[in-house]
């Protein structure tokens, strides 16, 4: 009986599945880093006296890239700007360097109107030598994370909710064009002079970078991501075990859910799915926290324009997760998962696998295992 090791937060856990019950193991699809190619792309920055970068997120791949940039061009040249939440992460990750950190807390100024919404941005975006840095990925609301998505999240929750409101049917849509992504693109157009670097994640690091304005870099990065991430399956999947495959993505319940949205099109109706979410950092969103502890009507909140951070993921979970036999391997209290959300909860990987095997009484269905669900997009061909 083969052991399959899967990332579960800071550790890996082993699950055992008999060969005759194992359909396939879909490994990390992303490429390795080619340092010479990346350094050639960054050569122009190395020749500058000072480099001003605005960190749009703290994805692992973005952090790793900025660490690489600092070492490549010299720490004393690099000035990192962002909001307090993002800067806090970078100060921990690159604290041994001599680069400068600057919190952006200046007043925002109106710079235009996007689909009836007044767009405001801090004056830092008017710098001609500023580079906006983010990482590309799959996102259920915007299709892709990266430049435009990171930009509107950085500019405020009100813009994210404006994007969400434009969705006529709120459902997970990773890798697809959505009304939300259209809105994010329009915001990026208003800041089209901003230079951008978009990072492609890799195996435990980052693999490539793309430059241009925000939209140009994002288009190149999404095309490259799909070359690796999109995997076709011939038959729909009846049983699955999926882990995000990255420590930070397994650290909260909210972040782990993207691994589920990325495989929905390839699941059989009523499929049984186990999602690994260590959740050492807790629930991970204000909306899920409020729902667990106090409860509220999610649809009504959206209708009344009452935005709570993370409400879209909670909506997906309650409305689309219910179409499947869903369970979570997690350290969260069983009462959170089973009583409040109505799904199954497991404490060991083999307990979860045994449930999948025992449920299939005819013993004909096989289990698919995804080792990096956060960056794997399954498509039913």
pLDDT at 1 exceeding the cut of 70: no
Under 8 Å between Cβ of 323 and 270: yes
Q: Give me the mean pLDDT over the 276-304 stretch.
A: 94
pTM, two decimal places: 0.94
Q: Does 156 share its domain with 105?
A: yes
Under 8 Å between Cβ of 204 and 132: no
Q: Which domain holds residue 245?
A: 3-30+230-380
Q: Does 85 share its domain with 126?
A: yes
Q: Does 93 share its domain with 213?
A: yes
Q: How many domains does the chain have?
A: 2
Q: Does 268 share its domain with 334?
A: yes
pLDDT at 165 exceeding the cut of 70: yes
Q: Rounded CA gap, 90 and 93, in Å?
A: 5
Q: Does 190 share its domain with 270?
A: no
Q: Does 134 share its domain with 255?
A: no
Nearest to residue 202, comparing CAs of 54, 30, 21? 30
240: domain CATH number is 3.90.226.30
Query: Given 166, 198, 227, which residue is the final one in a domain?
Result: 227
What is the model's pLDDT at position 254? 97
144: domain CATH number is 3.40.50.11440
Q: Does 274 share its domain with 206?
A: no
- Three-state helix/strand/coil letters over 125-156: HHCCCEEEEEECEEECCCEEECHHHHHHHHHC
Q: Mean pLDDT across the chain, nearest whole number? A: 92
Q: Does 250 share its domain with 278?
A: yes
pLDDT for 137-159, tens place per residue? 999 999 999 999 999 999 987 89
Q: Does 23 share its domain with 80?
A: no
Q: Does 169 share its domain with 182?
A: yes
Q: Does 93 share its domain with 142?
A: yes
CB atoms within 10 A of CB 96: 7
Under 8 Å between Cβ of 240 and 367: yes
Query: Given 180, 205, 227, which residue is the final one in a domain?
Result: 227
pLDDT for 49-98, tens place per residue? 899 999 999 999 999 999 999 989 888 889 999 999 899 989 888 876 77
Under 8 Å between Cβ of 63 and 205: no
Q: Does 64 share its domain with 207?
A: yes
What is the model's pLDDT at position 54? 96
Rounded-to-5 percentages of helix, strand, coil across the chain: 40, 30, 30
pLDDT for 8-57, tens place per residue? 988 999 999 999 999 999 999 999 988 888 998 898 888 888 999 999 99
Query: Given 175, 207, 227, which residue is the final one in a domain?
Result: 227
How distant, in Å, are the alpha carbons of 253, 314, 336, 363 from that of 282?
Answer: 7, 15, 11, 36
């Amino acid at each position: 009986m083969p052991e399959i090791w899967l990332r579960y937060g800071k550790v890996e856990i082993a699950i055992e599945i008999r060969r005759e019950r194992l359909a396939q193991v879909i490994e990390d699809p992303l490429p390795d880093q080619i340092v010479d190619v990346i350094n050639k792309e960054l050569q122009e920055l190395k020749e500058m006296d000072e480099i001003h970068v605005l960190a749009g997120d703290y994805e692992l791949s973005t952090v790793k890239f900025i660490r690489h940039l600092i070492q490549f061009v010299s720490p004393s040249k690099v000035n990192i700007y962002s909001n307090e939440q993002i800067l806090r992460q970078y100060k921990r990750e690159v604290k041994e360097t001599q680069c400068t950190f600057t919190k952006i807390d200046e007043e925002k100024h109106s710079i235009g109107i996007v689909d009836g919404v007044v767009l405001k941005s801090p004056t830092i975006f008017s710098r001609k030598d500023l580079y906006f840095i983010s990482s590309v990925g799959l996102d259920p609301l915007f299709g892709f994370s990266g430049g435009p998505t990171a930009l509107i999240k950085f500019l405020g929750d009100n813009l994210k909710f404006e994007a969400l409101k434009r969705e006529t049917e709120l459902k997970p849509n990773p890798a697809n064009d959505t009304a939300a992504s259209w809105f994010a693109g329009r915001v990026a157009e208003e800041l089209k002079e901003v230079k951008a670097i978009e990072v492609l994640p890799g195996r435990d690091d980052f693999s490539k970078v793309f430059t241009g304005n925000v939209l140009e870099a994002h288009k190149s990065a999404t095309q490259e991501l799909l070359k690796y991430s999109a995997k076709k399956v011939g038959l729909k999947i009846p049983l699955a075990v999926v882990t995000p495959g990255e420590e930070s993505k397994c650290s909260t319940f909210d972040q782990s859910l993207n691994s589920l949205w990325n495989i929905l099109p390839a699941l059989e109706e009523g499929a049984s799915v186990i999602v690994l979410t260590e959740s050492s950092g807790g629930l991970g969103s204000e909306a899920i926290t409020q729902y667990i502890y106090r409860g509220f009507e999610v649809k009504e909140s959206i209708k009344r324009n009452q935005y709570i951070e993370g409400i879209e993921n909670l909506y997906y979970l309650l409305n689309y997760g219910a179409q499947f036999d869903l369970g979570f391997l997690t350290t969260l209290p069983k009462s959170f998962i089973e009583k409040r959300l109505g799904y199954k909860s497991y404490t060991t990987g083999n307990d979860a696998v045994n449930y999948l095997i025992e449920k299939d009484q005819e013993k004909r269905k096989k289990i698919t295992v995804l080792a990096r669900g956060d960056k794997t997009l399954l498509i039913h061909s």
